[in-house]
Amino acid sequence: MPTVGVPAEVAEGERRVALVPATVAKLTSSGWNVNVESGAGTAAGFPDAQYSTAGATVTDRAAALASEVVVGVSPPPADLVRSLQPGSTVAGFLEPYVNEELMRATCESGLTAIAVEAIPRTTLAQSMDALSSQTNLAGYAAVLLAAHDAPKVFPMMVTAAGTIAPARVLILGVGVAGLQAIATARRLGAVVHAYDIRPETAEQVESLGAKFVAAPTADADAGGYAVEVEEDIQARQHAALAPYVAQADIIVTTAQIPGRPAPLLVTTEMVSTMHAGSVIVDMAAGTGGNVEPSRPDEVIDVGGARIHGPTNLAAHVPGDASRMYSRNLETMLERLASLEDALTEDAIFSEAAVIVEGKAQHPRTRALLGLDET
């Protein structure tokens, strides 16, 4: 079995760790050698002693990076991948379709890159679907962030001092994150409305006790993702959503289109109709934003409405996020170790191994690097 290295995360605000002690114990019992950088799991609640007990070698950064397979969470800086051994493998969230500097450095270093966000959403790959596991928790954290910032409680309360009406919550985008946001807001007692351009999500929304907003819909693409819409449909969306935006105490937006800017669902004019003290959490702020005034990792005030643009909400719950991510990587590493065919011939790694031994394989990564230009 090869050696897997777990360096400490270096991205600002990143508190997760790629492998937790429970996973390390399973890997070492299967024959893996695991090198963990000292302190890598501390922020997630996993001290070095737990890794040692699980069978890992707690070591320095250089030794962790010298491993045959290096796993991480957030995209590593290009300088880090340049320090890896040629022929080794780096795995994690790598932004393979947009992070040109990182992808170019990976190719130049002769590495294999496995981008977990490129793992196909199929039954076979379900246990490796790190994107779903992390966005699930992000949807939960988004509602808690809004609840913490809002001046209003979520549930209806009947007290001797009078009755408090429940919070009105609007969720835009009903994928994994949106469904968890709906479920969390409902558990807190809010009245929830939700919208997604894909008509098949209406049943899912209503099954969670929320109400689906009647607005323009369109069929998803072959991968089940939302698609871009024409300007006239977008204008109809805005018109249909405007009254719900104006009435909302809390809005959480999650709509994303892989590899493209996020769809604009809430304009500045729409935000200006919201009451002072209302809160918006735009989970798509890092890819252009569903809310026009939002900015990545900033809090913007528009007429008393506060707009959050967090780009790494899963790191707000680092313990459970790390546990889920670690289980995803465990399955992936087991498949990698047992693979007899070439990575490019495997049903999962043919999509996720975007670079193999320094050569870009995925069409979108090749396009990013200009390799298909004639």
Active site residues: 121, 126, 129, 132, 225
Q: Which helix (H) or strand (E) holds 101?
A: helix 100-108
Q: Which tokens is 64 given? A: 């962790």
> Distance between CA 112 and CA 352 in Å, rounded?
10
Q: Which of 314, 256, 320 is nearest to 288 (CA)?
A: 256
**β-bridge pairing 69-71 and 89-92:** parallel
How many angstroms separate the first and last alpha carbons of the chain?
Answer: 42
> Distance between CA 336 and CA 315 in Å, rounded?
26
> Distance between CA 8 and CA 318 in Å, rounded?
13
Q: Which helix (H) or strand (E) holds 305?
A: strand 305-308
Helix (H, G, I), strand (E, B) or coil at 162: strand
> Distance between CA 240 and CA 265 in Å, rounded?
10
